[in-house]
Amino acid sequence: MKANRIVSTIGVLTMTAGCTLLTPIEEDPLYLKMTAIDNRLARVERLVENEGLMQLYTQLESLQQDVQSLRNDVETMQHQLEQSNARQKDLYLDVDERLQRIEQNTASSANLSVLEGGSLNPGQLPVPGGTDRANYQAAFELLKQGRYDQAAIALRQFMVAFPSSELSDNAQYWLAETHYVSQEYKTALPAFQQVLEKYPESRKIPDALLKIGYCNYELKRFADSKKALSAVVARFPETTAARLASQRLTQMKNEGR
């Protein structure tokens, strides 16, 4: 009896197992449940991914807007800076032009006063407040007018007031010349020598050497005169000063000097 029940139970289990194995996998409840869970997980992952991309896109747009805003601010500042520079340049040019007019008017009135017969006192510039060039030209005009005393005062004060002027060597030469043409040879000689000593690169060196030779000739220092005149011929052979030095040397030879 007991043996019959066991056989019956085994038969039922066998039939049940057979039914289970014959069910398609697409209809298996466990398979369906796992598929549903997998689909839900995929949807969640897509949502998370999409949300992250949206956040990145939003941040990128915000950064682009900030960059554009900064670019606009920079362009505005550049424009304002250009306008400010333009205004400053216009202001500078206006002030410079007005100062030049004032200097020219001052120079013209002072220059006119001196050149029309006014006198200079020692230590006074011919163009007070004027440039070095304006004062040099005024002094040179006095020299050309034959007003040697006034020219000497103007040239001395020029060199005091403008010691670094590029016209200083010329001023020293013409100062010496004021004494030479006044036949003050003892005073002219050291003044010409200062051109050589203080301005050895000056274009006035040949003329200064020539006048040193002339001054020594007038002072009857014939050996010194020959030395200076010969130096002009040797060092500056193609100049007018060399031609004049040769003529004086010939003259001295004919005189038996």
Domain positions in the chain are 83-166, 176-257
The contacts of residue 134 (CB under 8 Å, 6+ apart) are 103, 107, 111, 127
Class of the domain covering 176-257: mainly alpha
What single letter denotes the amino acid at residue 226?
K
The residue type found at 203 is: R
| Terminal Cα-to-Cα distance of the chain (whole angstroms) | 178
- Judge whether 240 and 227 are in contact, CB under 8 Å: no
Mean pLDDT, 10 residues at a time, over the chain (257 residues)?
44 44 66 80 75 72 76 76 72 63 51 62 82 93 93 94 95 97 96 96 96 97 96 96 96 93
Sign (positive or negative) of CA dihedral 197, 198, 199, 200? positive
What pLDDT is attached to residue 12? 42
Q: Model pTM?
A: 0.57
pLDDT of residue 88: 72
**How many angstroms separate the CA atoms of 24 and 28, rounded?**
7
Q: Are the C-beta atoms of 192 and 176 separated by less than 8 Å?
A: yes
**Tens digits of per-residue pLDDT, 70-104?**
777 777 777 777 777 776 766 656 666 665 555 55
Q: What does the pLDDT read at residue 18? A: 45
Nearest to 125 by CA among 98, 101, 160: 160
58's tokens: 């939003």
Per-residue model confidence (pLDDT) at position 96:
63
Give Cα separations from 198 to 54, 169, 191, 202 (angstroms): 84, 8, 11, 9
CB 154 within 8 A of CB 125: yes
The angle formed by the CA atoms of residues 174, 171 and 186, to the nearest 5 degrees, is 45
